[in-house]
């Protein structure tokens, strides 16, 4: 972003008598993140909001690093600030803390009443919202807009602080076809693991994959996930991808491959390529998103009980049930004429489509 961002509203006018351009500031939670799942979320969020931004002046700052001097000037000049994706909505008091959505005291004036959430999730379940966090969120979140959240934890938090929200599920699913053709088991699989949520069943997960597939790949969504793989018996037979999204996309696009793992968005990425995908439920995010969307999932206790191979050998039809009316209504509040059509996501996708 240009360090010389202006705060004068006249800076966003065309020459002559042309109408003023809207200025929209984006908070990007993939920037400075070590979790490549944030890149997947941000890519889809940016694609989904793009129709709203065709005539806008757009600036961006990092969620992890906070606004900074230039970002603060840009946010202060903006008409609207869009907070894009990830599980950043917290009931704990976060002002000034090192967090995925970093907000400093000096940012408050720039953000006041301007922030609209786009597919943001609750960081964790809660009993109560800290009074100072309630005050912080009421200060920065727009009272004039309906906010898009991806789970009921986030929706309940908004209700607690008196802001309007609608449950839209995760933006990474919005453009996935609602029904995908039954696919046979592939010869290959790619798996993900979550180091900070390691569990004894992870060994059974790897063993089950090696039993079913001729070839097993591993994609480290975070660098530390690779060390967890190397702690598991049988890891020597696993082929490891480079830790970047381009390498993962290339493998998913190269031919039939099943996607199984504990990383929610790494698994959803398989659906973007028309692959069979099965997410392991390791936290409230996977459980809830799978529960309300129909995303194929399996519990860790089921894996520990040895049911994974039979599940993988059987074919299943992926049917997603998403709140399309709520998604359309969320976008429609900005400009009905620019509300993205959800119809493109309703046609079944064949797994034989090697896109």
Which of 261-270, 309-318, 343-352 has the highest mean predicted lDDT (pLDDT)? 261-270
Those residues whose C-beta lies under 8 Å from the C-beta of residue 137, and which sit 6 or more positions away, are: 89, 129, 157, 161, 163
> Which of 11-25, 48-62, 91-105, 203-217 is predicted with the least confidence, judged by mean pLDDT?
11-25
* 338 vs 83, higher pLDDT: 83
pLDDT of 114:
97
Q: Considering the entire predicted model, what is its pTM?
A: 0.88
Question: Hey, which bits of 181-296 come out as E strands?
Answer: 188-192, 215-218, 239-240, 258-261, 277-281
Q: How far is 256 from 52, CA to CA, in rounded Å?
A: 35
DSSP secondary structure letters along 182-215: --PPPSEEEEE--GGG--THHHHHHHHHHHH-SE
- 3-class state of residue 32 by DSSP: coil
* Nearest of 338, 343, 349 to residue 324 by alpha carbon: 343
Neighbours of 73 (CB within 10 A): 20
Q: State the DSSP H helix or E strand holding residue 299, giving kind and residue range, or none if neither.
A: strand 297-299
Kindly list the distances between the CA atom of residue 21 and the CA atoms of 13, 279, 304, in Å, as whole numbers in the listed order. 6, 43, 56
**Residue 6 binned pLDDT confidence (cut-offs 50, 70, 90):** very low
Residue 13 has pLDDT above 80, yes or no: no
Q: Measure the CA angle with vertex 284, ends 327 and 26; round to 5°.
A: 45
């Amino acid at each position: 972003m240009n360090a010389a961002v202006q705060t004068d509203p006249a800076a966003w006018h065309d020459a002559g008598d042309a109408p003023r351009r809207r200025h929209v500031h984006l908070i990007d939670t993939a920037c400075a993140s070590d979790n490549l799942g944030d890149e997947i979320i941000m890519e889809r969020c940016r694609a989904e909001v793009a129709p709203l931004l065709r005539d806008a002046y757009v600036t961006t700052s990092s969620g992890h690093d906070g606004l900074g001097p230039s970002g603060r000037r840009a946010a202060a000049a903006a008409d609207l600030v869009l907070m894009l994706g990830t599980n950043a909505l917290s009931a704990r008091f976060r002002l000034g803390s090192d967090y995925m959505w970093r907000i400093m005291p000096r940012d408050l004036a720039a953000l006041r009443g301007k922030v609209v959430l786009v597919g943001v999730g609750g960081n964790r379940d809660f009993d109560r919202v800290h009074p100072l966090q309630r005050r912080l969120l009421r200060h920065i979140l727009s009272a004039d807009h309906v906010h898009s959240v991806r789970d009921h934890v986030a929706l309940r938090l908004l209700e607690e602080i008196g802001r309007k929200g609608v449950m839209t599920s995760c933006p990474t699913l919005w453009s996935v076809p609602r029904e995908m053709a039954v696919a046979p088991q592939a010869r290959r699989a790619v798996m993900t693991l979550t180091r900070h949520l390691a569990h004894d069943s992870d060994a059974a997960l790897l063993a089950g994959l090696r039993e079913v597939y001729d070839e097993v790949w591993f994609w480290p969504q975070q660098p530390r996930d690779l060390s967890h793989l190397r702690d598991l018996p049988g890891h020597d037979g696993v082929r490891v991808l480079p830790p970047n999204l381009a390498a993962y996309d290339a493998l998913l696009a190269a031919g039939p491959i099943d996607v199984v793992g504990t990383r929610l968005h790494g698994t959803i990425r398989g659906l973007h390529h028309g692959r069979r995908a099965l997410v392991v439920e390791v936290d409230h995010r996977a459980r809830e998103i799978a529960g309300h969307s129909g995303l194929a999932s399996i519990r860790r206790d089921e894996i520990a009980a040895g049911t994974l191979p039979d599940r993988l050998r059987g074919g299943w039809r992926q049917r997603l049930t998403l709140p399309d009316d709520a998604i359309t209504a969320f976008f429609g509040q900005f400009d009905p004429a620019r509300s993205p059509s959800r119809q493109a996501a309703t046609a079944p996708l064949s797994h034989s489509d090697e896109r």
